[in-house]
Amino acid sequence: MNFVNIWGATTLIVCLAVGVASPAIAQVDHDEDREFISRLFEQALTQRQSYIWLRDLCLEIGPRLSGSSNAAKSIEWVKYISDTSGFDHVFLQDVKVPHWERGEAEQAVLTDSKGNELELSVLAIGGSIATPPGGITGQVLEVGSLQEVNRLTKEKVEGKILFYNPPFDQSNIMTGASYGANVGTRSRGAVTAAEKGAIASIIRSVTSADDDYPHTGTGSYADGVPKIPAAALGVQSADRLSEVIAKDPEATLRLTMNCQWFEDAPSHNVVAEMRGSEYPDQIIVVGGHLDSWDVGHGAHDDGAGCMHALGALKLLKELGINPKRTIRAVMFINEENGTRGGHRYAELAVENEEKHLIAIESDAGGFTPRGFGVTSSDEQRKKLEGWLPLFPRNTISYFSRGGGGVDIGPLHRATGTPMMGLSIDSQRMFDLHHSARDVFEEVHPRELELGTASLAAIIYLLDKYGL
């Protein structure tokens, strides 16, 4: 996930106040809606369908990097569970995706000027080139930001391994803001370092945790700039490295990485649909991304979001909803390192002249849902706020301005479709995100199912009342 929602508690109070006073509430008798929504929550919490599916996805298949055989298996599997859930139409959208593999495990060994060795915890950044066989060795130069590198002379950087070591800002309640502040260093660090003649680029993992699991994520190269290996260190390793080179600038680091690029691979988005009975041409789309990084299980990022979307459709079906509008769950492919699935979905929507009422994404993790971030007109957002009292207490409590998702962004930009993203309690997300800790065991069934029910509830209201 890349989307950042920075709205806080003040917004929440304002939104609640608006919600209570909204004309949408005054005009319609919502008792029936309130009752139906509470049944959605009860059913989700007791049946745990999303959680059961997520267990299969994580434990039977595992991580699903684009182009991998696991990604192909997960597409087949999600199509199968969709086919057997009784939806009206299940189909695949073909798309070619990048195919990069990490290869044999990376190594980073720090050697001080006395010859003492220390092994650091490291992961290649997605898309990185390999080091030459046997690794690349150099002295390490620590910096805090891309801007700092821009101010350095070439002589200072040339032949060195550049080490970006900005701390994660722990002061934000919405941790996505802290992630967003450092993620540019991860994606552009290698280019900025190579422009000054560095031989490799390493970063302190962008994480709120204080452990030694390195966190990967996508990196980039630029035309005309030499490609250099790029990697992330666990934060404890980053701290050790910083301490050692401060005292002993002659210390060297040997970085060994075995990554490989392959030809683009054929892949698919998976789409499950319930057809609208009155306005079949108005589509409400809800999705997550089926691909993940290649470490951990991709449980929170974004197995949870996919199972939220599919689980929401299944809940509505089981509780007897015959939608007026067409409701689609989309499991997008390739969010993490290319967004090709999201672009393909938008391209086909334009080609087929489809009309989307709204696009919704869950890509913030399977933690307790708190609200939605919405990109729409103010009137539309006010209408959504009018529904706040229909959600059970301690679930959805705001519709904040601005939000959506990486996969639905292309549809929004191509067609102007309003979009929104499910916001969750983000305290633990960036402890796990893109690391070997993002495993099924870190997902709590009740928290996950509250997200599924929240999505089902908002889809139910959007289908019934439009936007």
Q: Which residues are catalytic, by number?
A: 335
Could you give the CA distance from residue 351 to residue 207 in angstroms, rounded to a whole number?
40
Interface positions, 1-30, toward Zn ion (CB under 5 A): 1
- Collapse the DSSP code of 391 into the 3-class scheme (helix H, G, I; strand E, B; otherwise coil) and give the result: coil
> How far apart, in whole angstroms, are the C-alpha atoms of residue 166 and residue 7?
23
- In the bound state with Zn ion, the residue whose beta carbon lies nearer, of 217 and 234, is 217
3-state helix vs strand vs coil in the chain, percent to 5 = 40, 25, 35
Smaller CB separation from Zn ion, 142 or 363: 363
DSSP 310-326: HHHHHHHHHTT---SEE
Q: Which stretch binds Zn ion (CB under 5 A): 103-111, 296-304, 432-440, 444-452?
A: 296-304
- Smaller CB separation from Zn ion, 1 or 140: 1
- 179 vs 213, which CB is nearer to Zn ion? 179
Total residues at interface with Zn ion (CB under 5 A): 4
Q: Does 142 bind Zn ion (CB under 5 A)?
A: no
In the complex, which residue's CB is closest to Zn ion? 1
Q: Which stretch binds Zn ion (CB under 5 A): 64-72, 200-208, 358-366, 379-387?
A: 358-366
Q: State the number of CA atoms in the 13 A half-sphere of 248 facing the CB.
A: 14
Task: Please report whether residue 294 would count as binding Zn ion according to CB under 5 A.
Answer: no
Which amino acid belongs to residue 130?
Answer: A
What are the C-alpha distances in Å from 363 to residues 5, 81, 342? 12, 20, 13
302 near Zn ion (CB under 5 A): yes
We find the least distance from the C-beta atom of residue 99 to Zn ion, in angstroms, to be 19
Tell me the closest approach of the beta carbon of residue 340 to Zn ion, in angstroms.
14
**Among 301, 385, 438, 447, which residue interacts with Zn ion (rule: CB under 5 A)?**
301
User: Minimal distance in Å, beta carbon 363 to Zn ion?
Assistant: 4
Decide: is 363 part of the binding site for Zn ion (CB under 5 A).
yes
Which of the residues 412 through 441 are near Zn ion (CB under 5 A)? Answer: none
Shortest Å, Cβ 289 to Zn ion: 6
**Residue number with CB closer to Zn ion (282 or 292):** 292
Calpha distance 323→460 (Å, rounded): 8
Q: Which stretch binds Zn ion (CB under 5 A): 129-137, 244-252, 299-307, 458-466?
A: 299-307
CB of 116 to Zn ion, least distance (A): 40
Contact yes or no for 264/96 (Cβ under 8 A): yes
* Mode of pairing for the β-strands spanning 355-361 and 419-424: parallel
Q: Which helix (H) or strand (E) holds 372?
A: strand 369-375
Going 125 to 145 to 148 to 187, the CA torsion angle's sign is positive
Q: What is the DSSP code (8-state) at residue 392?
A: P
Cα 107 → chain centroid: 27
Binding site for Zn ion (CB under 5 A): 1, 301-302, 363
